[in-house]
Amino acid sequence: MVLLQLLGVFALLSVLAVGGGTAILPEMKALTVTQFGWLTPDQFRDIYSLGQLAPGPNMLMVSVIGYHVHGYAGALLAFVGFFLPCSLITLATTRIWDYFKDSPWRLAVQRGMAPVVVGLMGAGIVAIAHTAIINWITVLIAAAVFAVLYYGRKMNPAILILVGGVAGFILLR
């Protein structure tokens, strides 16, 4: 039963992910933490952080949520649920895409959805910040990473993520 719920929850998130990974974080947190009670808010933050430490899209961490709920079978179903629907939609749509290439509505969709996606990404930040920003040290870590990436010179964010982990190890015991 819980396996079917896992599959359903992540399949729903899959088709809703029109704004990418960050945009579905509030919904993912609401479903896995509040509605089904599979994780505590802190566990959700920890698993999200694990995703930042691995290469590739950080949303691969959905498998860890599945593992947390129901072992390796849970991990597999969360992965399949999250990636199969959107991949099938993409596979089917990429072949008919050219039929729409001259539609004036394509630009309207692109232009109209852009601010909605930015708003959803903002909500995604709020969802993570809610449990990740817990004291002034975490505020400083977030502000420092933001300042370097936004105002500083171009560098790989992975280095700053690791520095954040080391800072946490030293300052957040």
Partner 1 sequence: MSDLPSGETNETVTATVAAPVRVPLWEIFWTFLVIGGTSFGGGVVAYLRNGLVTKKGWLDDEGFLAALEISQALPGLNATNMSVIVGDRLRGPIGAVVAFLGMTLPGSALVMILGVVYAANHHNQAIISVLKGVGAASVGLLLAVTLQIGHKQLEHALDISLVVLTLVLVSIFHVSLVIVLLTVGPLAIYLYRPHPARELKPDKTVFDKKGGE
Q: How far is the CB of 29 from partner 1 (least distance, A)?
A: 10
Closest to partner 1 by CB, 3 or 52: 52
- Does residue 131 bind partner 1 (CB under 8 A)? yes
Q: Which is nearer to partner 1, 1 or 107 (CB)?
A: 107
Beta carbons of 49 and 22 less than 8 angstroms apart: no
**Is 15 an interacting residue with respect to partner 1 (CB under 8 A)?**
yes
- Residue pair 76/5 in contact (Cβ under 8 Å)? The answer is no
Lay out the site mask for partner 1 across 82-121 (x = CB under 8 A, - = otherwise).
-x-xxx-xxx-xxx-xx--xx-xxxxxxxxxxxxxxxxxx
- Cα separation values, 56 from 53, 90, 117, 167, Å: 10, 19, 21, 24
9 lies in the binding site for partner 1 (CB under 8 A): no
The least CB distance from residue 15 to partner 1, in Å, is 5
The binder of partner 1 chosen from 41, 50, 70, 73 (CB under 8 A):
50
**C-beta separation of 85 from 15 below 8 A:** yes
Closer residue to partner 1, CB minimum distance, 4 or 140? 140
Give the helix, strand, coil percentages of the chain, each rounded to 5. Answer: 85, 0, 15
73 binds partner 1 (CB under 8 A): no
User: Would you say 41 and 33 are in contact if contact means Cβ atoms under 8 Å apart?
Assistant: yes
Residue 2 is a binding residue for partner 1 (CB under 8 A): no
C-beta atoms surrounding 57 within 10 Å: 12
